[in-house]
Amino acid sequence: MTEARILVVEDEDSLAETLRYNLEREGFGVTVAADGRRGLERFRAERPDLVVLDLMLPEISGLDVCRAIRGESEVPIIILTAKDAEADKVAGLELGADDYVTKPFSVRELVSRVRALLRRSRIGSPGEEEVLRGGPVELDVARHEVRVGGEPVGFPPKEFELLETLLRRKGRLLTPRRP
Ligand code: CA
């Protein structure tokens, strides 16, 4: 498998270059975009395997970029948040970001989170052609497609994830999570 391509959307040059240097050294392909508008452009042009997204960005805010990407793709997103911006972090996760790191962070920590997310997103990635079934419902994991009686039906990302979880656990007892 070729190494993953990562889009870094970050307007602080020094941090962006530090991330590029370290991620490339780990063998990833890296594209850097310095504002939200270019971040979305690069995302649409390159379809990266993972996005590292600063929330405080010029042009289009990180939260709006996150929302826009999530409307188009299930790509893993790690948001970068400021220490005093708890509300942004929560908003980002609610918009569908998969993970976050709080600035200032260690690059090693970020790299390990990148690896963990890529591992997760590659379970059932193309090549395995994994299809989960439950009655007339088929869920094509690689293509992110739900079919009922063979016909594709539109499914929002959150509901897709929920259905995937349910189908994977089929036959196992679901217990409520303890508070
Ligand atoms: Ca910033």
| Rounded average pLDDT over 95-114 | 94
For the chain, what is the domain count?
2
> What local confidence, expressed as pLDDT, does residue 176 receive?
61
Residues 83 and 161 in one domain: no
d(CA 131, CA 133): 7
Rounded alpha-carbon distances, angstroms, from residue 36 to 83, 99, 139, 153: 20, 19, 33, 31
173 within a domain of the structure (yes/no): no
Q: What is the DSSP letter of 132?
A: E
Give 174 Cα–ligand 1 centroid separation in angstroms.
41
Per mean pLDDT, which range of 38-42, 54-58, 84-88, 89-93 is the poorest? 84-88
Tokens read off for 92: 């980002």
Check residues 72 and 170 and name the one with the higher pLDDT: 72
**Residue 115 CB partners (closer than 8 Å, separation 6+):** 26
Instruction: Classify residue 176: in a domain, yes or no.
Output: no
Query: What average pLDDT does range 106-115 have in this prediction?
Result: 94
17 and 52 co-located in one domain:
yes
Give the range of the structural domain holding residue 145, as residue numbers without chain letter: 131-168
Instruction: Please check whether residues 75 and 148 belong to one and the same domain.
Output: no
For residue 31, is it within any domain?
yes
How far is ligand 1, taken at its centre, from the CA of residue 121, in Å?
26
Q: Is residue 175 domain-resident?
A: no
pLDDT in tens, 140-174: 887 788 988 888 888 888 888 888 888 887 755 55
| Domain CATH number, residue 34 | 3.40.50.2300
**With 80 as the cut, is the pLDDT of residue 21 above it?**
yes
**Ligand 1 centroid, distance to 13 Cα (angstroms):** 9
Distance 156 CA to ligand 1 centre (A): 30
What distance in angstroms lies between residue 170's CA and the mean position of ligand 1's atoms?
43
- CA–CA distance from 49 to each of 13, 68, 100, 103 (Å)? 22, 16, 17, 23
How far, in Å, is the centroid of ligand 1 from the Cα of 163? Answer: 35
- Are 110 and 87 contained in the same domain? yes
Q: What is the pLDDT of residue 1?
A: 47
Mean pLDDT across the stretch 28-37? 97
- 72 domain residue, yes or no: yes
Query: Ligand 1 centroid to 81 CA: how many Å?
Result: 9
Let me know whether 113 and 142 are in one domain: no
Q: What is the model's pLDDT at position 124? A: 44
- E strands, 107-176, where? 131-134, 137-140, 145-148, 151-153
Residues 152 and 80 occupy one common structural domain: no
Give residue 55 CA to ligand 1 midpoint distance, Å.
Answer: 7
pTM (2 decimals)?
0.69
Asked whether residue 33 falls in the same domain as residue 105, the answer is yes
Q: Are residues 109 and 154 in the same domain?
A: no
**Are 125 and 40 contacting, i.e. CB atoms less than 8 angstroms apart?**
no
Helix (H) or strand (E) segment spanning residue 52: strand 50-54
* pLDDT given at position 138: 87
179 found inside a domain: no
Instruction: Verify that 22 and 103 share a domain, yes or no.
Output: yes
- Side-chain-facing half-sphere of 104: CA atoms under 13 Å: 4
Ligand 1 centroid, distance to 52 Cα (angstroms):
12
Query: In the chain, what is the greatest distance between 2 CA atoms, to the nearest angstrom?
Result: 53
Residue 27 domain-assigned (yes or no) = yes
Co-location of 104 and 162 in the same domain = no
Same domain, 114 and 135: no
Give the pLDDT mean for 37-50.
Answer: 97
Distance separating alpha carbons of residues 36 and 67, to the nearest angstrom: 12
pLDDT value, residue 33: 98
**Same-domain pairing of 113 and 136:** no
